[in-house]
Structure 1
């Protein structure tokens, strides 16, 4: 991934997405914000016990890094519901994926081990941000999101580019009770008896939906192994949530 920084706020970008000048995106680190321990410092979640004032300041920082675009959040449910963001929405959104064809809407997913999968169709000018934890992987929320893009915007999967954020890697994605939690069809992704490679699951689900493998970039960065950069629920329990953002800048 490509490291970037704006006014002391650091984030990473996907090599396969930075070439689109109309696109703004970033996977933000935990650094450069206002929150205090154990949420230090760029926590974006209002539901972990952090001070609301600090979170509002943090959200302003992220927005400034994204050309002052409007951050759009959803109440993440660890399910497979997809929300299409339009200009006449009623808040709050509830679902684990946001899809949008509007400018200046910065689709935002909060994570701390789960994946954010950023999706862009440059032909139809449609963006999506998917929250995919292990439950979302089992329910194939990624595939469902691409189906919604096809249904609502006539997107062709072969035009789509996707990036998989830093998240829990196969080194740390341990599921002791996997036989009761994870369907057998996913057991082929096991490593070291009870660890799972959810990065590869997401790659395969993207390809299964018709995305070209060359258009997919997986960060390969484990959040639990890099708590200096990212929040990790598995590694820290009481902690914040970093954010992944994608949007199209205003053209006029």
Structure 2
């Protein structure tokens, strides 16, 4: 099984292929075991949604502690294609408070950095180069998909860190599935080149779009892993904007461990 429940209290899921690399730590957290009340119940990690900021800070601390209490990197996600590089020249404070970098993807080669993607239907995507020891966390909503934030992120990994796409491991987390991604106004919202991913009910398979974009970027098919969990169908586990409208955001985190760390 590629995607399974890794730890409990708080519950987070893991990708089995990534567990082969002890130098990284990752987890996709459910919405449960947090401090926020309805409609953000309960492990909401995003500010600006109407949740009490004190609850958000407590929830972020839970995520940080579960991942080893290391340096968290939260982005001000804009549904764009900007990529933030958290390298030695961009030293962040590790604050759990509102984020500074405006971007929808982050890349790091710094041990101790934990990249956190905030989602509720959008795709959280992990990328890892085991040779160069570089990780990336990508927030890809439908706008990010049609503008190919995946390709842009991999391009930065190649130019800044000399990553070879053939080595990359790619994992697509829980997100809006082809069963529920209906776009009534697809003719004005979605470029025609993506209409082939639409069924007769105007539902679009963004998982397949991302998979093909990863393939086009040079990643081997055997290195691409999809959780297969639709957030709209599983609101018992994950936040879903489409299903709930006013709701929270769950955490998808990946980072490089320090020398003394091992997967707990």
- Deviation per CA, 1:179-224, whole angstroms, max 9, x where unpaired? 0000000000012331000000000000100001101100110000
1:15 alignment partner in structure 2:
16
User: Aligned equivalents of 2:153 and 2:88: distance in 1?
Assistant: 19
Report 1:81-100 matches (<5 A).
Answer: 81-89=82-90, 92-100=100-108
Structure 1 residue ranges without an equivalent (≥5): none
User: Aligned equivalents of 2:250 and 2:136: distance in 1?
Assistant: 18
SS of residue paired to 1:191: coil
User: Aligned equivalents of 1:242 and 1:155: distance in 2?
Assistant: 29
Q: 1:106 aligns with which of 80, 102, 114?
A: 114
1:48 alignment partner in structure 2:
49
Report 1:165-180 matches (<5 A).
Answer: 165-180=173-188
1:133 alignment partner in structure 2:
141
User: Aligned equivalents of 1:75 and 1:64: distance in 2?
Assistant: 21
User: Aligned equivalents of 1:62 and 1:81: distance in 2?
Assistant: 24
The yes-or-no answer on 1:218 pairing with 2:218 is no
Give the TM-score, by structure 2 length: 0.93
Contact 1:16 1:216 in 2 (8 A): no
- Deviation per CA, 1:145-168, whole angstroms, max 9, x where unpaired? 000000000000011001001000
| Count of residues paired in the alignment | 251
The alpha carbon displacement at 1:70 in A equals 1.6
Contact 1:12 1:26 in 2 (8 A): yes
The yes-or-no answer on 1:229 pairing with 2:229 is no
Q: 1:195 aligns with which of 203, 215, 234?
A: 203
Structure 2 residue ranges without an equivalent (≥5): 93-98
Contact 2:182 2:201 in 1 (8 A): no
The yes-or-no answer on 1:33 pairing with 2:38 is no
- Deviation per CA, 1:127-162, whole angstroms, max 9, x where unpaired? 000000000001000011000000000000011001
User: Aligned equivalents of 1:35 and 1:62: distance in 2?
Assistant: 14
- Deviation per CA, 1:37-81, whole angstroms, max 9, x where unpaired? 110000000111101111111111111111111210111111111
The alpha carbon displacement at 1:5 in A equals 2.1
The yes-or-no answer on 1:185 pairing with 2:185 is no
SS of residue paired to 2:243: helix
User: Aligned equivalents of 1:55 and 1:193: distance in 2?
Assistant: 37
Q: 2:214 aligns with which of 198, 206, 227?
A: 206
2:95 alignment partner in structure 1:
none
- Deviation per CA, 1:85-117, whole angstroms, max 9, x where unpaired? 123437710111001110111001100000010
Q: CA RMSD in A?
A: 1.0
Which runs of 4 or more aligned residues in structure 1 lie more than 6 Å from their structure 2 counterparts after TM superposition?
none
Contact 2:70 2:114 in 1 (8 A): yes
SS of residue paired to 1:238: coil
